[in-house]
Amino acid sequence: MSAENFFDNLKNDLSFSGNREKEATCLKRYNKRGDGRLDQDEFHEMCLDLFVDDGKSFPLTETESRRIFEQLDDNQDNYIDRDEFHILWRYWLPMILQPKAALIAVDVQNDFIDGSLAVAQAEEIVPVINRILDDEGMFEQVIYTYDWHPENHVSFHNNVCLRNIHHTSKVQQKDACVFDTVVFDGHVPMEQTLWPAHCVQHSHGAKLHADLKITKDHVDIYKGVCDHVDSYSAFFDNQRLSQTELAVALCDRRITDVYVCGLAYDVCVRHTAIDAASLGFRPFVIEDACRGLTTESCDKARREMEEAGCIMVSSTQVKSMAEANTRVPKMALQAAENVALARRKAKVKLASMNSDHGDKPLTNGFVVENSSSLDM
């Protein structure tokens, strides 16, 4: 990393992405060959300045920088040309240097702490979450999610007799115990773990823990509200038949990064974080602000979340990452994949519009500049 970190100087400039003079300065700075485009080696040098760990150089392999490069090299000619660099500058860099973060506190409810479905040592996460929330300025939005089940909910063991069991189920009604998995009959057979009755709507068990800090202007998200389908994720029910308002709430605040914590690590935190990644948000899982059911299922959940693009962090790292003082390659790769996806969608949209208007092109500039699909 050079003595003067070019990108730290940009971090506090809210208008840098629209400054073509600074864009040209950046390209010239790293384009050592002087041909107006970056090859992979030059891009790697730029990334060495860009990625830092709380102000210190971040170890970066050429493989890591190459994976990002390949997403930003739209025409796959092994160079980031001027047009591609403009998209990099306009859309990719702001997600890295000026992220907009939200905290999602998942199901920090009485029944999961000391109630009917208590998770071991769950109460220990409450002061950790509270310390994170002491600096509210880190987050554009704070969200609290609730399991919010009707009394006849499909996941409750005592309701197993209310529904028919599919013939493929290894466990039948008369033998079903708490924590068993059954397959319920229906248009599409549905696998379901049977839990003790928990978080019944308006009950004490469904309330957030009394010691949990509640911020001003927060958003509450209720899941599992339908009797016939469970909802582990704060975004979708388990069958993806419906979704909550969470994605809309995040998009309304132009959130790029979500910090996920709560209960249980290997169930609702896992599903929420993985769905966040699938929707294009960059998920960070605050591990010391979570507790899970078993060591084995938590290990499995961690592997699945990492494979989906989630970043595992501790509560002490959140501030540095949320304020972009720590910038890691995995965050940048997710951002580059989002840019590449948006560009592909923009091209499809433009092709469709052009086909509707004959052969006359609708733009004489770069397609993304005229497409709202990359307005991140």
Q: Using CA atoms, how far apart are residues 134 and 150, in angstroms rounded to an integer? A: 34
Across-strand partners of 259?
A: 103, 284
Of 26, 199, 268, 298, the catalytic one is: 268
φ, ψ of residue 314 to 5 degrees: the values are -105, 165
- Catalytic residue check, 177: no
Record the tokens describing residue 257, joined without a space. 């990064």
- Catalytic residue check, 107: yes
Residue type, 53: D
Query: Which positions ≥6 away from 278 have C-beta within 8 Å?
Result: 308
The 10 Å Cβ neighbour count of residue 59 is 11
- Catalytic residue check, 74: no
Using alpha carbons only, what angle is made at residue 136 by residues 314 and 215, rounded to the nearest 5 degrees?
110
Of 223, 266, 275, 298, the catalytic one is: 223
Of 49, 73, 74, 107, the catalytic one is: 107
Residue type, 371: S
| Catalytic residue IDs | 107, 223, 268
